[in-house]
Amino acid sequence: MENMGRMISLNGSNYHLWKGKMEDLLFVKEFHVPVFEEKKPVEKTDDQWKLQHRQVCGLIRQWVDDNVLNHIENEIDARSLWLKLEQLYARKTGNDKMYMIKKLIELRMSLCNSTSNGVISMDMVKNSVLNEETRRQSNASSSRSDVLVTESRGRSSSRDPKKDKNRSRSKSNKFANLECHYCHKKGHIKKDCWKLKKDKQQGKQEEVDRVTITDDQFLILLEDDAINVCQDTSWVVDSGATTHATSQRDLFSTYTPGSYGSVKMGNDGLAQVVGIGDICLETSIGTRLMLKDVKHVPDLRMNLISTRRLDDEGFYSLHGGGKWKLSRGSLVVARGEKLSSFYLMQAKVSKDSVNALENDHAMELWHKRLGHMSEKGMSVLSKKEAIPRISGLHLEKCAHCLRGKQHMVSFKSSVPSRKPKVLDLVHSDVCGPMKTKSLGGASYFVTFIDDHSRKLWVFTMRTKDQVLGYFKQFVALVERQTGKKLKCIRSDNGGEYSGPFDVYCKEHGIRHQFTPPKTPQLNGLAERMNRTIVERMRCLISQSGLAMTFWGEALSTVVHVLNLSPSAPLEGDIPERVWTGKNVSYGHLRVFGCKAFVHIPKDERSKLEMKSRQCVFIGYGQDEFGYRFYDPVKKKLIRSRDVVFMEDQTIKDIDKSGNPTQSYESLIDSVVAPSTSVHGHVEDEVQVDTPGADAPAHDDGIGDHDDDHGETPTTENPPIVRRSERGLKPSTRYDPSEYVLLTDGGEPESFDEALEDEHKDEWHDAMGDEMDSFAENHTFELVKLPKGKKALLNKWVYKIKHDETSLSPRYKARLVVKGYGQKKGIDYDEIFSPVVKMSSIRVVLGLAASLDLEVEQMDVKTAFLHGDLEEEIYMVQPEGFMKKGKEDLVCRLKKSLYGLKQAPRQWYKKFESVMGEHGYKKTTSDHCVFVQMFGEDDFIVLLLYVDDMLIVGKNLSRIQELKNQLGKSFAMKDLGPAKQILGMRIVRDRGEKLIYLSQERYIEKVLQRFHMDNSKVVSTPLATHFRLNSQQSPKTKLEKEDMARVSYASAVGSLMYAMVCTRPDIAHAVGTVSRFLSNPGREHWNAVKWILRYLRGTS
């Protein structure tokens, strides 16, 4: 009884046979009680029971293969171990059932021939199947090719028993027990197979086990050993397949059932493809791989990945050395190993992406994704298979819908009708004011609805008088899209639709229909739409838990979903489809306010920084790719398409202990309009100061629809690339100009952005101040552009300045001429203008400290506007300030402007002239140092750096007199005692006669720009192990491409400015790294980073 020579080891595919033998063994050894009894026997102590459990676990683990042992190696309870094996290997899936049917078919004839009466009992069949399995394993036939799906192979009819017998006898005895992989005869191997040679001569293809999908969609070859080593998490990498496939329904994150063709076998047998969807995998190296349009074939026995399909999606597949690697650009996405004649990848389903839910859960999920659409609308989409079919469609009462939509029972209404063509009639109405302003400062929104298609456009507004401006945008947009003219617009009698609005309609031939006073029913479509929008907004705010300040984002989402929702007047058709004539998709929809992990691009994070951050999903991009997100930790809005959603969680589930951060270009919470165009993808952020963004929502923050009837440019550097052992290739996904790195943040990049910024009032006032300066200085006059002359373009540049003496920032707007359009000899001649030397600043400040002199500071407002021009230059009118009725005129410049090549020189000449008139002389060593002596020890020294001045003297009254004189000639700002100059902070200790200069803020910005703000500090400017020389410069093409993405020159320049101003301790180190500016290498860049680490520790 102790003989266990007949016991077999569990390899994953022989579970039923192994189970019977193992049960017998457990009973023989009297170890069966811990396996089959849940309760401890009374006669056993706890220690004895635990010991027996461990003994049984040890016994079972002795009879399993390594691939099975991985699943149970930590189990210490015998019953749990037994049930786990049963769960893993005794599933009644389509694979197992069809595999057993195949075995029965193979055995039928041989069994009938061996039975005298031709009758076979089920027990007999079962035992015969098990015996046949054991026989084949004992005869070393496990390497015979086996089918992946049901296939009744039988034995080949072309085999000749006599020839087989003779052939096998003629071979050496060393092949006696081996089976040919081609003809499946024993006694020889495949290379010596006579049938293979004969078939090749006849041009016949090798008769192997293949799986194909009709229309040449799929092709794979596998053997038994492949099946034996594979697990549920194994994926076979197939270079011949043209689509991904799996038999496991529970792997899909999105799934659409239906008939998608058949799987054709090598012997013309068929198996059905019963569904298609997406699968998100988490690979063994921790990355996520999304497989699109995976075929669901229940009869497949393996998971298959098509490298052809991956190649079409931009991935690069590399085989060699027994390894397989899948990459995208420089990022390795997955790895695999070669087993037998195929490559195998291990991956499990990403938990964050699985949405294979029960019907009730799926119904609720799509209800949220569709912005709380009604059950009727969802039923229409489900029947059209626009969303996955959900059997027994029934929507339970939604608390958020009751909060946001509940109203009185409606009266009987007339049957809706619509115009025959688009733009025949557009309905419009204004809704607001809201009790809470949106992130962009809006209090109202205006709707425009096309009567024929029911397509909806919505624009947020700060005031009602903006309706006309947005109506003009709307008309230009829809007429360009359709090629048709708007014929009629219907609105109420609100004041925003009268006066200029009515005049505009008459001028453009647009009929304007007004509803009678106090009869909103006649504008029912717009009124009802406003109610629908507000109700949906309430639902989304309630569902998400976001603050009421996010109503603009909720509005954008509602509009997007409504344009994709079935409409009763359209007989269930979709407004977006009717408007564009194209089918719409719902696969991109997600639950508003859900938690999401947004990927941080690798060139904007260091090696060890987190690769994603937790955000809240707040809507869809309008004129761009990607989704919109809110980072509650950093109070930022982000746009991205590289994201993983967790739709069952909200802002309350986000860990606010910290989030990876980075800088992006500004994002606008602006006009909410349907998607009409697509631009390149750029992730972006903007600071959002929202009070309690995660505070609970209140229903009274959004008003009902009835309320509307009540009364200096800088060039940024590209991101720094982290060092990698892998070869790098320049990214081709985005244009380099689309990567914008902001070191101070929150500043608009254009006039349009400024108007939609949360500080739009401050920016508007700043631009107004600039225009007032133009008027006061008579900077330009409006004239017609002479023939042959060209008007230069201009741009508004915005800057937030932080004063040491004030807690609130200063908002500055400056109009800059695009001087790159100037031509030498025509638009300018000399352009050189001096600035004060840094050594002069240090000498004068040192003199002030030792002699206890007064140090005052002044700033010239719009300094370049004071310079007189000698050339004839024209410029287009500033954006946003075009003279009404004179839009065709241009500005002839009388004085210089920022951006003109000669502007600095003309300003300096003007200032030098004024200082000479007041008795000041420039020094010969520095032409920006002006001095006047009033006595032996009474003097004043003025230092000029463009428009910043330091005034040093002993007599404060004389200094004030100079300030008054300058104020008569220029628009000046008196900043009082000097606190900061050229980014240097000035701290004075008059008692000790000391002046301290610091560039702490500047150095912090430099560290942030080059992603060194969290680096490890060092104690020396340059370590001794750096032996820098030209031999370390890049030589290969790959090395040069790698360094081309590093902002070496910019970093050295930043260090040099700090060195010249306040950090002479890094002079030697900076001088060393600056020798390699023409062709820097990786080691040179490491030295630069070392200096930055030193500055971080000493600033």
User: Residue length, the chain?
Assistant: 1099
3-state secondary structure at position 764:
helix
Percent of the chain having pLDDT more than 90? 15
Q: Which residue has the higher pLDDT, 407 or 113?
A: 407
- Partners of residue 446 on adjacent β-strands: 430, 459
The token duo for 968 is 């008569």
Q: Is the dihedral of CA 882, 884, 888, 891 positive or negative?
A: negative
18 pLDDT band, cuts 50/70/90, is confident
State pLDDT tens for residues 794-825. Answer: 889 998 876 655 556 788 888 888 877 666 65
Compute the distance between CA of residue 910 and CA of residue 895 in angstroms, rounded to an integer: 11
Q: How far is Cα 264 from Cα 213, in angstroms, rounded to an integer?
A: 5
Distance CA 179, CA 168 (A): 10
Q: Which two tokens stand for residue 766?
A: 């700043």
> How many beta carbons lie within 10 A of that of residue 218, not counting itself?
26
Band of pLDDT at residue 508, cut at 50, 70 and 90:
very high
**Does residue 941 surpass a pLDDT of 90?**
yes
For the segment 168-211, what is each residue's pLDDT rounded down to a tens digit? 444 444 566 667 767 777 777 766 787 777 776 655 433 333 33
Query: CATH for 210-349?
Result: 2.40.70
Is 633's pLDDT higher than 90? Answer: no
* Selection from 303, 388, 384 nearest residue 347 by Cα: 303
Task: List Cβ<8 Å contacts ≥24 apart for 596-600.
Answer: 596/627, 596/629, 596/643, 596/644, 596/645, 596/646, 597/352, 597/643, 597/644, 597/646, 598/629, 598/631, 598/638, 598/640, 598/642, 598/643, 598/683, 599/640, 599/642, 599/643, 600/660, 600/662
> Does residue 465 or residue 390 have the better pLDDT?
465
694 is catalytic: no
Q: Cα separation of 764 and 462, whole Å?
A: 14
| Contact in structure between 441 and 755 (CB atoms under 8 Å) | no
At residue 1089, the pLDDT reads 93
700, amino acid identity: D
Q: Which of the 8 DSSP states describes residue 214? A: T
Q: What percent of the chain has pLDDT over 70?
A: 72
- Burial level of 343, CB count in 10 A (0-12/13-18/19+)? buried
Specify the DSSP class assigned to residue 415.
P
Q: How confident is the model at residue 973 (pLDDT cuts 50, 70, 90)?
A: confident
Task: Kindly state the average pLDDT of the residues 26-46.
Answer: 86
At 330 the pLDDT is 59
pLDDT at 903: 79
- Whether 161 has a pLDDT exceeding 90, the answer reads no
For the purposes of burial, counting CB atoms within 10 Å of the CB of 488, is it exposed (0-12), middle (13-18) or buried (19 or more)?
middle
Q: Going by DSSP bridges, is the β-strand pair 939-945/929-933 parallel, antiparallel, or unpaired?
A: antiparallel
Of the candidates 540, 530, 253, which has an alpha carbon nearest to the alpha carbon of residue 373?
540
Cα distance from N-terminal residue to C-terminal residue, the chain: 81
Confidence of residue 866 (pLDDT cuts 50, 70, 90): confident
What pLDDT is stored for residue 511 in this prediction?
94
Q: Which two tokens stand for residue 761?
A: 């009032």
What separation in angstroms does the CA of 141 have from each of 165, 411, 984, 1088?
A: 18, 79, 82, 64
pLDDT digits (tens, 9 = 90+) for 385-417: 567 655 555 666 677 776 666 655 454 454 457
Exposed, middle or buried, 551 (CB in 10 Å: 0-12/13-18/19+)?
buried
Strand-pair partners of 219: 212
Q: How many helices (H) and strands (E) does the chain have?
A: 29, 40
Q: Give the separation between CA 927 and CA 911, rounded to whole angstroms.
A: 12
Position 111 confidence tier, pLDDT thresholds 50, 70, 90: very low
Give me the helices (H) in 37-93, please: 46-61, 66-72, 78-89
> Does pLDDT of 1090 surpass 90?
yes
The superfamily CATH assigns to domain 366-407+419-585 is: Ribonuclease H-like superfamily/Ribonuclease H (3.30.420.10)
Which of 915, 1042, 913 lies closest to 966, judged by CA? Answer: 915
Q: What's the pLDDT score for residue 14?
A: 82
Q: Is 441 left (phi over 0), alpha (psi -120 to 50) or beta?
A: left
- DSSP type of residue 521: G
Q: What is the pLDDT of residue 476?
A: 92
- Alpha-carbon Rg for the chain in angstroms: 39
User: Quick check: 29 pLDDT over 70?
Assistant: yes
Q: What is the mean pLDDT of residues 273-280?
A: 87
Question: Is pLDDT at 11 greater than 90 in this prediction?
Answer: no
Quick one: pLDDT at residue 1085? 93
CA distances from 441 to 551, 560, 867 (A): 11, 21, 39
Is the per-residue pLDDT at 365 higher than 80?
A: no
**Catalytic-labelled residue, pool 238, 299, 450, 926:** 238
Average pLDDT score over residue span 864-891: 84
- C-alpha span between 773 and 767 (Å, rounded): 10
CA-to-CA dists, residue 848 to 102, 839, 928, angstroms: 99, 14, 18
Q: Tell me, what's the pLDDT at 160?
A: 46
Per-residue pLDDT averaged across 1017-1040, rounded? 88
Choose from 20-29, 381-390, 703-712 the range with maximum mean pLDDT.
Answer: 20-29
More confident residue, 148 or 990: 990
Residue 991 pLDDT greater than 50, yes or no = yes
Burial of 787 (0-12, 13-18, 19+ CB in 10 A): exposed
Residue closest to 910 by CA, chosen among 894, 934, 925, 931: 894
Q: Express each pLDDT in 52-80 by its tens digit.
A: 898 999 999 888 888 788 788 888 888 88
CA neighbor of 422 nearest in space, from 479, 477, 505: 479
Is the pLDDT assigned to residue 249 strictly greater than 80? yes
In 3D space, the residue among 536, 636, 657, 633 whose CA is nearest the CA of residue 592 turns out to be 536
Asked whether the predicted pLDDT for residue 710 surpasses 60, the reply is no
Distance CA 1095, CA 1059 (A): 11
C-alpha to C-alpha distance for 315 and 237, rounded to whole angstroms = 14
- What is residue 725's predicted lDDT score, i.e. its pLDDT? 40
Are 878 and 990 contacting, i.e. CB atoms less than 8 angstroms apart?
no
Up-side HSE of residue 411: CA atoms within 13 Å toward CB? 2
Q: Measured between alpha carbons, how far is 225 from 234 in angstroms, rounded to an integer?
A: 13
pLDDT number for residue 169 = 42
Residue 873's pLDDT is what? 86
User: Helix (H, G, I), strand (E, B), or coil: what is residue 255?
Assistant: strand
Instruction: Please determine, for residue 533, whether its predicted confidence score (pLDDT) is greater than 90.
Output: yes
C-beta of residue 684 within 8 angstroms of C-beta of residue 638: yes
What distance in Å separates the CA atoms of residue 156 and residue 810, rounded to the nearest whole number?
A: 88
Give the integer Cα–Cα distance in Å for 696 and 691: 12
Strands 262-265, 254-257: parallel, antiparallel or unpaired by DSSP?
Answer: unpaired
* Winning range, highest mean pLDDT, from 171-180, 220-229, 405-414, 423-432: 423-432
Alpha-helical segments (H) within 245-346: 307-312
Least confident of 24-28, 754-758, 990-994: 754-758
Which is more confidently placed, 909 or 517?
909
Q: Rounded to whole angstroms, how far apart are CA atoms 613 and 891?
A: 49
Q: What pLDDT score was predicted for residue 385?
A: 58
- pLDDT bucket at 470, cuts 50 / 70 / 90: very high
User: How does the average pLDDT of the chain come out, rounded?
Assistant: 75
Contact, 204 vs 183, CB < 8 A? no
Q: Is the pLDDT of residue 423 over 90?
A: yes
pLDDT at 104 over 50: yes
**What pLDDT band is residue 613 in, cutting at 50, 70 and 90?**
confident
Helix axes 78-89, 15-28, angle to 10 degrees: 160
Report angle CA 653, 655, 660 to the nearest 5 degrees. 130
Mean pLDDT, residues 954-975 taken together = 88
Q: What is the mean pLDDT of residues 909-933?
A: 90
Question: Across the beta sheet with 262-265, what order do the strands follow?
Answer: 218-221, 210-213, 262-265, 270-272
Instruction: Lowest mean pLDDT of 269-283, 312-326, 685-699, 868-882, name the range.
Output: 685-699
371 residue type, one letter: G
- The answer to whether the 210-349 and 366-407+419-585 domains have the same CATH topology is no
Closest CA to 239 of 314, 160, 324: 324
Most confident of 88-102, 245-259, 529-543: 529-543
Residue 42 has pLDDT above 80, yes or no: yes
| Number of C-beta neighbours around residue 999 at 10 A | 20
Cis peptide upstream of residue 433 (ω within 30 degrees of 0): yes
Residue-range domain boundaries for the chain: 15-89, 210-349, 366-407+419-585, 590-695+712-722, 759-998, 999-1098
The answer to whether the CB of 594 falls within 8 A of the CB of 649 is yes
**Least confident among 233-242, 947-956, 1070-1079:** 233-242
> What is the predicted pLDDT for the residue at 468?
92
